[in-house]
Chain A
Amino acid sequence: MTTDEVVSTLIRDLKPVSPLPAPNVRAWAWGAIVVVAGSVAAAVFGLRPDLAHAATTLDFQAHTVFLALATALASGAALLLAIPGERLARARQVAPIAAVGGWVAWLLVELASAVDRSPAAWTIDFGWGCVAKAMTIAAVPSAALLLMVGRGASVETRRAVTFAALAAAGVGALGVEVTCPKTDAMHLLIWHAGPIVVLPLIAAVAGTPLLVWWMRRRQAVGA
């Protein structure tokens, strides 16, 4: 096919399009989805019985702030990276990862002080239920975020997918934080924080080709 033929094909395929809203507007829209999905999840799973008391503790407040920051910053980064030519400042790239790092560091400090009090704090319990719960809570928000990223035309797909996965894992972790009554640091570190570290890594490897394939398929000329 010659370039002239390509141009003719594209002109024949031309339809009016509405430009995507700005990334921050889309981030707020995703935030609204998270609130709705989180409310439904809270209704289904039930809030932890000690939530009112836990909310007054510094540990819970720190966890929530770190996770909310990581989720908001990562979703904003993913949606920004979905648009060609938009630059993500280095500070904005590092910030979501720093927030997760801050949360993990906080948990490690909690673990260290718990171990000081009792060596039994090293015990790893069986917490797959929390992982399943986090995945269920994050399912709709993560699907919505991937769709929103896919609506763009990212030229930095791997980073966009990784940040989207981080945001989704953050939603799951926040959901588990308000539904799981366990407070021992080892449980939180392995079963609450584990997925938020592992999921973006998996997404960076496996999610990128899938998103590229889907974006190309959805945007095929003549489709």
Chain B
Amino acid sequence: MRGMTPAQEHELTLLMVASQNGDCAAYDALLRALQAVVALYVRRRVGSVPWGEDVVQDVLFSIHRARHTWNPERPFAPWFYAVMQSRLVDAIRVHKRIGVWEEPMDVVPPVVWSQSPEADTIAQADLAQAMRQLAPAQRLVIERLKLAELTVKQVAKETGLSESNVKVIAHRGYAALKRLLAGAGYDN
């Protein structure tokens, strides 16, 4: 059944039934098993893309939201693959759209304003702390763009990513930084 053996499907079916009944341990096992299946599926379909992990997370969220729609009397695999495929198709569509509309220009980073040397030191410490919390790919891209002052094209060449992927990762990284800094009390 599309890459899932009957034994695997049987096991996942049992875990899903238990999850529908509110069994947290079974749900944990189910999500971790599905996480691996989704990651493999995404890699096979679109290769190693920076947003692959986002799709994995999106699929897990979708399964959580839709878990009441699976009928235990029906096979699990078609239900699961339909959810997974729809999330992947959506993700591909979104990333294609971003690629089409993005203009070839550099990405502007957010600015952390400081009022005094002390505040500047605090801001730098918070920024460094926020940077450490970013996903490795986001951290790498932002560091290469802003600390090494490379262009998007140079970063793309250095990392082997496409230019639009570099921009997407940078954009998401800046958004994540903004959230993290807002959590640390910065307005801008």
User: Chain A: residues with CB nearer than 8 A to chain B?
Assistant: 1-3, 6-7, 10-11, 13-20, 22, 82-87, 152-153, 155, 216, 219-221
Do A3 and B20 have beta carbons less than 8 Å apart?
no
Do B66 and A19 have beta carbons less than 8 Å apart?
no
Given the contacts A13-B64, A84-B83, A153-B66, A19 and B56 also touching, CB distance less than 8 Å: no
B53 lies within 8 A of chain A by Cβ? yes
Do A85 and B82 have beta carbons less than 8 Å apart?
yes
Do A19 and B57 have beta carbons less than 8 Å apart?
no
Contacting B66 at CB < 8 Å: which of A3, A11, A84?
Answer: A84
B28 lies within 8 A of chain A by Cβ? yes
- In the assembled complex, the Cα of A27 lies from the Cα of B22 at a distance in Å of 28
Size of chain B's interface in residues, with CB distance under 8 A? 35
Do A3 and B60 have beta carbons less than 8 Å apart?
yes
Give 14 CB contacts A-B under 8 Å: A2-B135, A10-B27, A11-B31, A14-B27, A17-B67, A84-B82, A85-B74, A85-B79, A85-B80, A85-B81, A85-B82, A85-B83, A87-B78, A155-B82
User: Chain B: residues with CB nearer than 8 A to chain A?
Assistant: 19-22, 24, 27-28, 31-32, 35, 53, 56-57, 60-62, 64-72, 74, 78-83, 85-86, 135
- In the assembled complex, the Cα of A170 lies from the Cα of B126 at a distance in Å of 61
Contacting B86 at CB < 8 Å: which of A1, A7, A17, A84?
Answer: A84
Do A6 and B57 have beta carbons less than 8 Å apart?
yes
Given the contacts A10-B64, A11-B24, A18-B68, A85 and B31 also touching, CB distance less than 8 Å: no
Do B61 and A7 have beta carbons less than 8 Å apart?
no
Contacting A20 at CB < 8 Å: which of B61, B64, B69, B78?
Answer: B69
Do B65 and A3 have beta carbons less than 8 Å apart?
no
